[in-house]
Structure 1
């Protein structure tokens, strides 16, 4: 067995609404051998991985997978289940998996859920190797594989603090994702986005965290505000430390000036020799050390979030209890086998280290690691109680005196921390600090949460939820409005129209579309930006207050969604396009892929569907929330039934766009008033306007703003470039349109008669990745619509031979009734435009189905400049070369739009 490819889906995808990994695996000679025919395979597999006995598989009951093994399943299916089991054994709750045959008899796709990307991949590769070895009766160390995975999990998985915040965000339905492989989380999107590294939020300044690291400066600042702190000073060499110790008087504490997690800390230093030894140990961590008066008492960590104390723990140093038999070293080894202890932050407690600090502490107390303590004798192994060095914690949140709570919050604010761990040393946290001899000894930025989440004694505190509720107060919006738009035709126009209208509300709108990614009016990335990476680029921009995302089939199928949930999902239409690509062979396959956009909707969100589209009943079955239907036919039966049941619909009645809600019809705007409909003659743009209006209603945008936006959205190069853009060259006109499928060709053909022209000339092409029958059909339409045709080819032939697409288009033109004498093949897009303009007859309309808008637009500008130089009678305004207010001649009379916006 061999893994050929791997694909990572980091968001919702066509396989699952959770992240998945897809492996392309070549099973080789094992591809058609059922497991029951592999000698000893089932027995070895279940012996090594008994957890597989609980897998349900497709049979739907515990043990179903074992049944499949006995009946005889195939090795790639087994690898799917083993991948899930390995992740489970590493501590990850994952359940979804499927295996599907791929292109040839031995290739399979294994698709499975993951929580940690590196662990998910490691488990997939390990499963394939283990299954292959077992199937060939080769030796394999399953224990070694599992240990490797567990070590990797300890290194790469989210720590308990970050995981608690991640889970709390999910509980509040706040979009959350891990950035990179560290503990950095992105919460929400746009101007609602926050970043948090472990428990350190982005609202905390670098200055505040630097002050917290500078323990001496922290003490000075707290002391200046009357908060008790231990007396001490910074020293830079051993002799200075001794002199300071003598001046302060013993006992003393010594710690690195900028340390953390208790590294290099020595407490209760009672004489000069101990101070020398402590200095040398701490000097390994910092060149500047703090010598201060030792404060006796218990060690308390108080967690401050915003203006509140949300948790507190009493920390105890690591210890072992003697049994009169085993040495201290052996007792530590036994305690470290406690399932609650792990490496680093992977478990509630950390393994105890018998390092030089612990050995020094034992020596200071007259002990060594080889001594055998008496029965029930408690042996402390350190002076500090940090959880990261093996200490334990007792929850004491309810005991913290109100005065101490107020002091803790004040200390955090003095330093400038939103979230802080305040370390008190005092006899009893239930008594006011001023009454005793206690003090605040440290203020920590980004404090660890383990002791509060998993106290050794006492109640767990949901501090992750406290932090999320601080960052996103209850009752406030936790994310920005998001509209996701898909369909076969009209996606870009609808996306741009939605962005245009939303901008009128005063919001800064982020947009992705086939021409680029935009923040407000600025393009930040040119090109086809309709995939998940572009969506994330918009959503991670803090200026964005609303997002409109064109979401194309390719991105959905290959990488999933670039967002979590949208407020509105729009499917404009679905027609025959892109078949034969990425496993999409039928219209139903295409509809299945696009339906992800309407499935990934927020609770209370809305799906917008085209009631005139034959695939809409299929989509409606996949929706669990609200639907708004739109239609160009107010007698549409689907709409009638929907409205009768209390639903909403947007439709055309007597050339008026109308909202139908609860039987009440609310007129919005006359269709001829909408510029992109060309006076009501462009059926496809009426459809696009209806889709946009429906989505805007779903967002509760006012009717006044919607109508204003529809009136001011023009089919020009400034507002909707490359979609039905008309250019007047004097004796002929040129239309540019990004038509690249059958429906687009039909839409242009439907509009041409309304524009008014002596002769229609077509410059046609089709992407090479379309099926032969679709290219031929586009040629047929062109043969019926255009009197003269120039056939061009895309620069990107998409694995076609030069001239191959042109040949198919030519075949279609002839089948559509085209005149052989009026067909020319000019492969270059720009050259074909130049020739068509040069050969144009007076009154011609030249329609160019382009590949690259900017290239042909630049050529048009040069042609207009050339013609203006040749004729004094033709002097166009070069800043406005597009006829943005074009109205068909037969519709000019009495059109209300012309009086408001004269050409």
Structure 2
């Protein structure tokens, strides 16, 4: 959502809009909002109508039905004031919103409306873009390029491959991985042991690491560090990663699981803290977000398995299918270590983390912390990008808090996802890097 300029709003007592917010009493966070307008107060509407504007629900919200509750409350609010009806407009392709309004018995009306161009509907004022079904990480870049008049050639939409052309300059991309990233830099990120060496040589703080070997060597590493992480040497999206392992049996089982994604597996010392993702573009920090693992909230009625499946569906809907909670061995282990199993009924309002790794693709969510990022963390991220000599990279660190200087580097992602970092301009800065001449000229 875009912030509203308070200076442009009419006060409520003068016929301005009314706002309702939904607050999660467990976390004291705002998880939804809706704005409504009383037409009779605003412009003496003889039909005594009202309208709904700006329904928004936090995409990280784990509670169902927030949007429906807000809409129902707004309807009841205006009905209690003697208004006759409530109308709204919705973008033609917003299927989720259209389904909600149909459920609440709204009717489609044949009408004509004139809209002013703004940051929300700007794409509707552009000519047709590339007709391809890109994933969100490619689409956010393609849409920004199209908005600037940069030609987009679709190479393979399923693989996220496209070519951008502008002013005689031609750059191929796979999502945020472009021709500007060298093969050597990509290799340094993909191979986690090489990443470790490069960052260690740059004087950055890292966990202990060794290649998984025989059971005796793995056991010795566990005995030294007490808690370990197992991950494939070359992997992404949290696949095959198991964290906070404390027994030789769990370590060996996790190694076998990781070998499904890469026969080479590494062990690392486990460090408590928050999972911080920092996006560096052109050797400047563009965005920072705390990544939180998937969790569910009990309702006293449904089993843990049912709650996980429901939350997975919500995360998939909020991320165009990119985020889901896998019902795998790691999820089962996390639930079991918390003292539950899939068939248990989770008590009302009790929160339960169902993954240990905070990865978006396994149901996790992002909380933007760019504004409070500690300068030491920002400096460390830039130093890491320079050590890897990579122009676009996502760096993962474990930190006690985003506004504190302590950190441990975990890994680097050469094809960092630029979506889900709102309100930071990740796609804009990426296209700036590729085509600096496409920037508007300010006189």
Q: TM-score band, normalised by the shorter chain?
A: 0.5 to 0.7
The residue correspondences of 1:366-377 to structure 2 (distance < 5 A) are: 366-377=339-350
> Does residue 201 of structure 1 match 2:178?
yes
SS of the counterpart of 1:410? helix
> Does residue 444 of structure 1 match 2:426?
no
Counterpart of 1:256 (choices 228, 232, 248) is 232
**Is contact 2:212-2:255 (8 Å) kept?**
no
Aligned to 2:320: 346
Q: Cα 1:301–1:342, aligned 2, differ >3 Å: closer, same or farther? A: same
The residue correspondences of 1:494-513 to structure 2 (distance < 5 A) are: none
Aligned to 1:365: 338
Structure 1 residue 419: deviation in Å?
0.5
**Is contact 2:432-2:439 (8 Å) kept?**
no
Instruction: Please give the per-residue CA displacement for 1:543-593, whole angstroms capped at 9, x wherever unaligned.
Output: xxxxxxxxxxxxxxxxxxxxxxxxxxxxxxxxxxxxxxxxxxxxxxxxxxx
Counterpart of 2:309 (choices 302, 319, 333) is 333
Aligned residues: 328
Aligned to 2:400: 427
Aligned to 1:472: 435
Aligned to 2:162: 185
Structure 1 residue 476: deviation in Å?
7.1
Question: Which runs of 5 or more residues in structure 2 are unaligned?
Answer: 1-101, 114-122
Q: Cα 1:93–1:237, aligned 2, differ >3 Å: closer, same or farther? A: farther
CA distance in 1, matches of 2:106, 2:427: 31
**Is contact 1:322-1:331 (8 Å) kept?**
yes
CA distance in 2, matches of 1:423, 1:477: 33
SS of the counterpart of 2:421? helix
**Is contact 1:420-1:446 (8 Å) kept?**
yes
Counterpart of 1:317 (choices 290, 293, 296) is 293
CA distance in 1, matches of 2:108, 2:349: 43
> Does residue 414 of structure 1 match 2:387?
yes
Aligned to 1:391: 364
CA distance in 2, matches of 1:222, 1:271: 29
CA distance in 2, matches of 1:206, 1:171: 30
SS of the counterpart of 1:188? strand
Q: Cα 1:203–1:52, aligned 2, differ >3 Å: closer, same or farther? A: farther
CA distance in 1, matches of 2:143, 2:259: 39
Counterpart of 2:248 (choices 272, 281, 284) is 272
Structure 1 residue 385: deviation in Å?
0.9
Structure 1 residue 375: deviation in Å?
1.4
Aligned to 2:149: 173
SS of the counterpart of 1:451? coil
Instruction: Please give the per-residue CA displacement for 1:184-214, whole angstroms capped at 9, x wherever unaligned.
Output: 2211247411122101111111121111011
Structure 1 residue 477: deviation in Å?
10
**Is contact 2:129-2:146 (8 Å) kept?**
no
**Is contact 2:312-2:363 (8 Å) kept?**
no
SS of the counterpart of 1:341? helix
Structure 1 residue 321: deviation in Å?
0.6
Structure 1 residue 285: deviation in Å?
1.7
CA distance in 1, matches of 2:204, 2:126: 52
Tell me the TM-score normalized by structure 2: 0.68
Task: Report 1 or 2 for greater relative contact order, CA contacts < 8 Å, sequence distance ≥ 6.
Answer: 2
Structure 1 residue 277: deviation in Å?
2.4
**Is contact 1:315-1:392 (8 Å) kept?**
yes
Aligned to 2:264: 288
CA distance in 2, matches of 1:322, 1:225: 45
Give the structure with higher Rg (CA): 1
**Is contact 1:302-1:421 (8 Å) kept?**
yes
Q: Cα 1:449–1:476, aligned 2, differ >3 Å: closer, same or farther? A: closer
SS of the counterpart of 1:452? coil
**Is contact 1:236-1:288 (8 Å) kept?**
no
Structure 1 residue 239: deviation in Å?
4.2
Structure 1 residue 271: deviation in Å?
2.3
> Does residue 461 of structure 1 match 2:424?
yes
Structure 1 residue 289: deviation in Å?
1.0
**Is contact 1:319-1:378 (8 Å) kept?**
yes
Q: Cα 1:190–1:184, aligned 2, differ >3 Å: closer, same or farther? A: farther
Aligned to 1:602: none
Structure 1 residue 449: deviation in Å?
2.0
**Is contact 1:235-1:290 (8 Å) kept?**
yes
Question: Which runs of 5 or more residues in structure 1 are unaligned?
Answer: 1-46, 63-91, 97-112, 118-156, 454-459, 479-903
Q: Cα 1:475–1:352, aligned 2, differ >3 Å: closer, same or farther? A: closer
Q: Cα 1:465–1:476, aligned 2, differ >3 Å: closer, same or farther? A: closer
Instruction: Please give the per-residue CA displacement for 1:371-416, whole angstroms capped at 9, x wherever unaligned.
Output: 1111111111111111011101100011111221121011112112
Aligned to 2:276: 300
CA distance in 1, matches of 2:331, 2:352: 11
CA distance in 2, matches of 1:371, 1:449: 37
SS of the counterpart of 1:278? helix
